[in-house]
């Protein structure tokens, strides 16, 4: 299992992915490799192989309430690209998923957790709803891992 926390902790709520990764890392779960990435799409595709089970956590903007958590099974169909435009990268998580799909480079399973961001300007620290969602999301991921996978 690979957990990838995506984001930039120096852009407020964009740091949600790395914050979730840190909480899961603190649990020292055997068999889970935890990575933190900025969200550059090509780098993400290089993080997995065809036999891997992967969970990605990233901030998103879908128009929902800050702190809302969305779970997407990326193997089930088209990815909601429009929700994942929080990153400063034009080729980010959503584009990486779709390019990997087109190149037949998706891992065995790929789940993406999006946490609705409120603030993504310069600065450190998560907004209140996002901070609470980070803890909830980490718990959900730990539950998936304990059940034996992400799919």
Q: Write the CATH number for 64.
A: 3.40.50.1450
Q: How far apart are CA 117 and CA 101, in angstroms?
A: 26
- Residue 33 phi/psi, 5-degree rounding, is -95, 125
Q: Would you say residue 15 lies in a domain?
A: yes
Q: Would you say residue 151 lies in a domain?
A: no
Indicate whether 88 pLDDT > 60: no
- Convert the pLDDT of each residue in 4-40 to its tens digit: 999 999 999 999 999 999 999 999 999 999 999 987 8
Q: What is the reported pLDDT for 151? A: 42
Token representation of residue 51: 């036999």
Diameter over CA atoms, the chain: 39
On whether the CB atoms of residues 23 and 132 are closer than 8 A, the answer is no
- Convert the pLDDT of each residue in 95-151 to its tens digit: 888 889 899 999 999 999 999 999 988 999 999 999 999 999 999 999 999 887 644
Q: Would you say residue 44 lies in a domain?
A: yes
Q: Would you say residue 97 lies in a domain?
A: yes
What is the residue range of 47's domain?
Answer: 2-146
Q: How many domains does the chain have?
A: 1
């Amino acid at each position: 299992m690979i957990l990838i926390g995506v984001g930039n902790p120096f852009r407020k709520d964009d740091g949600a992915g790395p914050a979730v990764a840190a909480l899961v890392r603190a649990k020292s779960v055997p068999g889970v490799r935890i990575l933190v990435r900025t969200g550059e799409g090509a780098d993400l595709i290089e993080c997995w192989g065809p036999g891997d089970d992967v969970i990605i956590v990233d901030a998103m903007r879908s128009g929902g309430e800050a702190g809302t958590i969305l779970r997407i099974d990326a193997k089930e169909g088209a990815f909601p690209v429009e929700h994942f435009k929080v990153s400063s990268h034009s080729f980010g998580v959503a584009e990486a998923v779709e390019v990997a799909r087109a190149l037949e480079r998706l891992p065995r399973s790929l789940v993406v957790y999006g946490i609705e961001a409120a603030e993504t300007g310069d600065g450190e620290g998560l907004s209140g709803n996002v901070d609470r969602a980070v803890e909830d999301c980490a718990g959900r991921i730990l539950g998936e891992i304990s059940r034996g996978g992400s799919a």
